[in-house]
Each structure stands twice: as structure tokens, then as C-alpha cells.
């Protein structure tokens, strides 16, 4: 009976979350319930719970996680400064006169917003509100339009400096320390490792759109009546955000700044961009700070709850059971990876990325790392896997975000139909990374040397 208790605990959390209970309270509360049960049944030594205070202090004292509120501030400020709106307008003027130009501009803007905000929901909603009406008005196919917007919005999962990569990098780094007592992986490594897969994914999206437009021009027609874009407008809307992104990512890649320090640069740079765009006001700053505080508080409350959950799960012997289960999988490391990826993919239908990262990763990552899996490769695989899950019908979060801002004239089945080819592209990238792990591991090692 005792060996099943950790899995029952995990199932209990999933059911409670599906019932709509708050994530942080569900994680912490379920941990306390099962800790009490374990003590009562003599399955758990209560002394092990003394580490909970130290774990919570470790979360709040973690310098890497300081990057989370800073990047959230950067993203919200750029959103309120209408950077996304100006980017879309400029890209539409640049690419609109070629077949599929509006869809290509959405992909490029999605990539840039991912690199500047890393917040999937905000990106999908923003681009859905701004670009979808224009695309439909210009005769673009509903499925192609909605699929492109959803897929481009989820790029925030993999394009650095993604909040997903920050949390994932810290979780895997902690798992590495627990397995080996220290290690070479950090969030910056994961940022660098995500660059090549991210570029491949964006390129594949654009190639797909161009092929569809070439084979059937009626799906994504040219727009010949667009005015020329002014150089001043182009500089303000495109060049300046690119400079900010280059400074933030370049400082990390060059090793002159940690992700936290780069996040501070990005937060300050977003305020400067808002001033240049004449979109800054103290009222807007107050709104941005309140939004940042709410989001960051939510993240850290979940982290604290997940930390207590992980402690109780391990105290009940859950890590040993998972280790045994994965080692018994046919196919060795490959079989274990496939099972873990499949479980995370399915959990992505019902859990947010933060819950998956801080509930599932601490359980499975130590086992996979002990089996010889590269930590950077594992992090990139998990990020792309979650990105695919959030795009997959009928439960994908990105589809729900877009459905909320899509007019009733666009049926839900068209949103689902449009997402399927992009899901195929992402699965193809996962297979490619599985066959050639060097796509994720080569660049971090090359820069380290």
C-alpha cells in the first residue's frame, strides 16, 4: 500500500486542480494532508518535514528567480507601450505585398515578442486582437490565420529570455545538484541551448506558410494597396525593440551579465522605449507595477507550494518509486524519456507550465539525469514538449486564449484545424532533437570553451 501513496498524492493534486482549486493552496494543502496521513500511518518520519522552512527560504532567497518579476515587468511595459501593435503594423507594411506576408509578419512579431516578454497568453491575445481582424478582412483563410497566431504566440515557451526557461533551468539545476551535489548547468546555458531549436522552429513556421501560399494563393493573398513605411516609424517600432532584445540576450551570451542582470537591463530598457514611443505615464507605470506584482506573487506562491509538495513526495518515497518505474521501462533511457515526455504532454492539457515544472520536473529529472541524460537537452525537450501540448486541440491553453478574442464568425473547428500543421512541425522538431541532441547542446559547450 505504502508504495502507491506518492502516486495517489500526485493524482489527488491533479484532480483538485481540475476541480478549480487555487494552484498554490492545492499543492501546499495536499502536501500537508498526505504528510499528516503519513505520520499517522508511520509511513513518514516527521523530522524530514523540518527541511520545509529551509526550502521556502531557498526559494525566496534564490537570486536567479529575481529575473522573473524583472522580465514580467519588461513584458507588461512593452505591451502597455503598444510595442506589439507598432511591430505588427510595421511588419505588415514590410511583408504585406508578398503572398502570405501578413502571416509571415505575425510569425516574426511572435518571435520578437517572445524574446521580449516570454508570456504566452499575453502574446496570443495581443496578436489575436490586432492581427486576426486584418488578416480576415484581407481574405486570409481562417484556419491558416488562427493557426499562425496560436503557434507564433507559443514561441514564448522556447525563445529566450522565456520565463518558462528561467523556471525550468532552475528546476533542472536543482535536480542536478540533488543528483550530483553540484553541476555545470544554469539558466544561461538553457537560454543558449534554446537558440538553435528556436530559430529552426521559426524558420519551419515561415517555410510552411510560404509553401501554403505558393500552392494555393487564395489562402494568403498579396496586398498591393499598402503605403510605404517611413524610416522613422520603422526605427521606432522595429529597430529599437531589436536593439533592446540584442542587448538583453547578447549580454547573457557574451557572459558579461547573468540572466538576472540582463533582466534588469531589459526592465529599464522597456521604460526607455515607452518614453521614446511617448507611451509612458506614471499612471501606466503604476498599472505595470501592479500587474507585475500580481503575476510574480502568483509564481512565487506556486513555487513555495510546489517546494513543500516535492518534500513530502520524496519523504513518502516517491522519488524511489519513480526511479524504479522508469528504470523498468523497456528501451532504457529512450523508453524512459518517451514516457516522461508523454506524461508531461498530457498534463499540459490540465496544468499550467509552472505547475508542471515545479511538480513533475523535480520528480523525474533526477532519475533521467542519473541515467545519463544531458540536462540542457532535457530542458529544451521539455520546453518544446510543453509548447506542443499548449497548442494541441481540444485542451491547448493557446487555443483557449485565442478563442476568447476571436469573433463568432470563426468556428472553433477552424482554430483547431489551423493548429494541427504547426503541431506536426513541433513534433518534427522534437524528433530531430531526439536524433541530434547536439542542436541543443553544441552552442552552450562551444561558448563555454
CA–CA separation, 7 and 316 (whole Å): 10
Q: What is the mean pLDDT of residues 180-195?
A: 75
Task: Write phi, then psi, for 230 (nearest 5 degrees).
Answer: -80, 145
Q: Cβ of 227: how many Cβ atoms within 10 Å? A: 6
Provide the pLDDT for residue 115: 67
∠363-366-372 over CA atoms, to 5°?
140
- Residue from 124, 195, 132 nearest 159 by CA: 195
Grid cell, residue 93, equals: 507594411
Q: What is the pTM of this model?
A: 0.83
Q: What is the DSSP letter of 1?
A: -
Residue by residue, DSSP assigns 170-232 as: HHHHHHHHHHHSS-S--HHHHHHHHHHHHHHHHHHHHHHHHHHHHH-GGGS-----PPPPPHH
**CA angle, residues 234, 236, 241, in degrees to nearest 5:** 105
Res 426 pLDDT > 80: yes
User: Do 270 and 241 touch, CB atoms closer than 8 A?
Assistant: no
Residues 364-396: pLDDT tens digits? 888 888 888 888 999 999 999 988 988 888 777
User: How far from the centroid of its chain's Cα atoms is residue 371's Cα?
Assistant: 26
Q: What is the mean pLDDT of residues 295-306?
A: 81
The CA distance from 60 to 54, in Å, is: 10
Q: What would the pLDDT profile of 18-29 be if each residue is shown by its tens digit?
A: 777 777 788 888
pLDDT score, position 207: 95
Which three three-digit cell numbers place residue 179? 543528483
- Pick the more confident residue, 158 or 436: 436
In order of 7, 158, 327, 374, the CA distances from 340 in angstroms are: 15, 19, 12, 15
What integer best gives the mean pLDDT of the chain? 83
pLDDT of residue 10: 81
Q: Does the CA dihedral 70-71-77-78 come out positive or negative?
A: positive
Residues 105, 74, 389, 364: what is their CA dihedral angle, to the nearest 10 degrees? 140
Cα–Cα nearest to 367, from 314, 413, 419, 404: 314
Q: Is the pLDDT of residue 212 over 80?
A: yes
pLDDT at 419: 92
CA distance 399 to 446: 38
> What percentage of the chain's residues is helix, strand, coil (to nearest 5)?
80, 0, 20
pLDDT in tens, 18-73: 777 777 788 888 888 888 888 888 777 777 777 777 777 777 777 777 888 888 88
Amino acid at each position: 500500500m505504502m508504495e502507491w501513496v506518492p502516486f495517489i498524492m500526485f493524482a489527488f493534486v491533479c484532480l483538485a486542480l481540475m476541480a478549480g482549486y487555487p494552484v498554490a493552496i492545492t499543492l501546499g494543502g495536499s502536501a500537508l494532508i498526505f504528510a499528516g496521513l503519513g505520520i499517522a500511518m508511520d509511513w513518514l518520519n516527521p523530522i524530514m518535514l523540518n527541511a520545509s522552512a529551509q526550502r521556502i527560504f531557498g526559494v525566496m532567497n534564490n537570486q536567479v528567480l529575481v529575473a522573473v518579476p524583472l522580465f514580467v515587468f519588461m513584458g507588461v511595459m512593452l505591451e502597455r507601450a503598444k510595442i506589439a501593435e507598432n511591430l505588427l503594423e510595421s511588419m505588415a507594411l514590410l511583408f504585406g505585398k508578398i503572398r502570405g506576408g501578413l502571416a509571415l509578419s505575425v510569425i516574426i512579431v511572435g518571435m520578437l515578442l517572445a524574446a521580449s516578454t516570454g508570456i504566452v497568453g499575453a502574446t496570443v491575445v495581443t496578436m489575436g486582437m490586432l492581427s486576426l481582424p486584418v488578416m480576415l478582412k484581407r481574405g486570409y483563410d481562417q484556419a491558416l490565420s488562427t493557426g499562425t497566431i496560436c503557434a507564433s504566440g507559443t514561441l514564448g515557451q522556447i525563445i529566450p529570455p522565456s520565463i518558462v526557461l528561467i523556471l525550468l533551468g532552475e528546476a533542472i539545476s536543482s535536480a542536478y545538484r540533488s543528483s550530483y551535489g553540484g553541476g555545470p548547468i544554469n539558466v544561461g546555458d538553457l537560454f543558449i541551448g534554446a537558440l538553435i531549436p528556436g530559430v529552426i522552429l521559426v524558420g519551419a513556421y515561415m517555410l510552411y506558410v510560404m509553401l501554403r501560399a505558393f500552392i494555393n494563393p487564395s489562402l494568403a493573398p498579396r496586398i498591393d494597396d499598402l503605403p510605404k513605411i517611413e524610416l522613422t516609424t520603422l526605427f521606432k517600432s522595429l529597430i529599437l525593440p531589436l536593439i533592446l532584445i540584442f542587448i538583453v540576450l547578447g549580454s547573457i551570451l557574451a557572459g558579461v551579465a547573468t540572466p538576472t542582470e540582463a533582466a534588469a537591463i531589459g526592465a529599464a530598457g522597456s521604460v526607455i522605449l515607452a518614453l521614446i514611443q511617448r507611451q509612458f505615464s506614471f499612471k501606466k507605470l503604476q498599472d505595470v507595477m501592479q500587474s507585475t506584482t500580481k503575476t510574480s506573487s502568483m509564481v512565487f506562491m506556486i513555487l513555495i507550494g510546489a517546494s513543500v509538495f516535492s518534500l513530502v513526495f520524496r519523504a513518502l518515497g516517491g522519488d524511489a518509486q519513480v526511479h524504479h518505474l522508469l528504470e523498468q521501462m523497456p528501451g532504457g533511457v529512450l523508453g524512459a524519456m518517451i514516457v516522461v515526455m508523454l506524461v508531461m504532454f498530457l498534463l499540459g492539457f490540465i496544468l499550467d507550465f509552472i505547475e508542471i515544472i515545479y511538480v513533475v520536473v523535480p520528480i523525474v529529472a533526477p532519475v533521467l539525469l542519473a541515467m545519463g541524460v544531458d540536462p540542457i537537452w532535457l530542458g529544451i525537450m521539455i520546453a518544446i514538449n510543453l509548447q506542443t501540448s499548449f497548442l494541441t486541440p481540444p485542451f491547448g491553453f493557446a487555443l483557449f486564449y485565442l478563442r476568447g478574442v476571436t469573433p463568432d464568425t470563426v468556428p472553433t473547428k477552424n482554430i483547431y484545424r489551423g493548429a494541427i500543421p504547426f503541431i506536426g512541425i513541433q513534433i518534427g522538431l522534437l524528433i530531430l532533437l531526439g536524433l541530434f541532441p547536439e542542436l541543443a547542446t553544441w552552442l552552450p559547450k562551444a561558448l563555454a570553451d
